[in-house]
């Protein structure tokens, strides 16, 4: 009889331990994701603060009105290049988190899609960033270099398509 009670207690204890493990695992996954998302947002806010403090930094974007307003000095070029590297290092952190550190759930996939589109938009709008990425492939891990290469190919295909559409409209 006491052997059966010991067995039942052991089984119940084992079951409760497994339930605790599952809840702890789930809680840790949620905590890691939330902490990472907050850190990513803090980094983005830091970029925004830099650009507010020095509006000339907006000229990293080819389509920004300030870009055509005056020629860049060497110091301006250096600040812009530094900001672009900051962005690229920031993107490296985000890429690595979503593609290496976690197994993505549905929400993660949607968040990664949004970040990927943000990265593409950044590169689409900044020819200087595209040039730096092309020069910097060897500085990045193979997967990230491949990601950037695929984004640049996509942007090039979009530009070629726009040129073809423009040419066909001009010829019509």
Q: Tens digit of pLDDT for each residue in 10-47? A: 887 888 788 787 777 776 777 788 888 899 999 999 99
Closest by Cα among 103, 100, 104 to 92: 100
Task: Give pLDDT, residue 6.
Answer: 83
Would you say residue 128 lies in a domain?
A: yes
Cα-Cα-Cα-Cα dihedral sign, residues 42, 44, 50, 52: negative
pTM above 0.95, yes or no: no
Task: Give pLDDT, residue 29.
Answer: 73
- Statement: residue 7 has pLDDT above 90: no
Would you say residue 121 lies in a domain?
A: yes
Q: What is the mean pLDDT of residues 50-79?
A: 91
H-type alpha helices, the chain:
2-53, 74-96, 106-125, 127-136, 142-171
The total number of structural domains in the chain stands at 1
Would you say residue 117 lies in a domain?
A: yes
What is the 8-class DSSP label of residue 63? Answer: T
**Token pair recorded at residue 17:** 């331990």
Q: What is the mean pLDDT of residues 144-158?
A: 94
Would you say residue 11 lies in a domain?
A: no
Domain enclosing residue 97, as ranges:
36-171
Question: Hey, how many other C-beta atoms are within 10 angstroms of the C-beta on 130?
Answer: 20
Closest by Cα among 88, 100, 85, 127 to 36: 100
Would you say residue 152 lies in a domain?
A: yes
Structure confidence by residue, pLDDT tens digits, 67-97? 888 788 899 899 999 999 999 999 999 999 9
Would you say residue 12 lies in a domain?
A: no
Would you say residue 135 lies in a domain?
A: yes
Q: Which of 33-42, 81-90, 113-122, 123-132 has the lowest mean pLDDT?
A: 33-42
């Amino acid at each position: 009889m006491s052997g059966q009670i010991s067995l039942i207690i052991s089984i119940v204890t084992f079951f409760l331990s497994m339930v605790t493990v599952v809840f702890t695992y789930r809680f840790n996954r949620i905590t890691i994701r939330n902490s990472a998302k907050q850190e990513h947002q803090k980094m983005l806010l830091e970029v925004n603060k830099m650009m507010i403090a020095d509006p000339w930094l907006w000229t990293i974007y080819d389509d920004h009105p300030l870009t055509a307003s005056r020629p860049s000095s060497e110091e301006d070029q250096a600040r812009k290049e530094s900001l672009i590297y900051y962005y690229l290092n920031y993107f490296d952190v985000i890429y690595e988190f979503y593609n290496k550190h976690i197994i993505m759930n549905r929400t993660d996939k949607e968040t990664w899609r949004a970040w990927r589109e943000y990265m593409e938009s950044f590169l689409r709008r900044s020819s200087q960033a595209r040039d730096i990425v092309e020069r910097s492939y060897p500085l990045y891990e193979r997967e990230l270099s491949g990601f950037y290469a695929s984004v640049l190919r996509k942007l090039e295909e979009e530009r070629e398509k726009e040129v073809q559409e423009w040419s066909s409209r001009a010829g019509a």
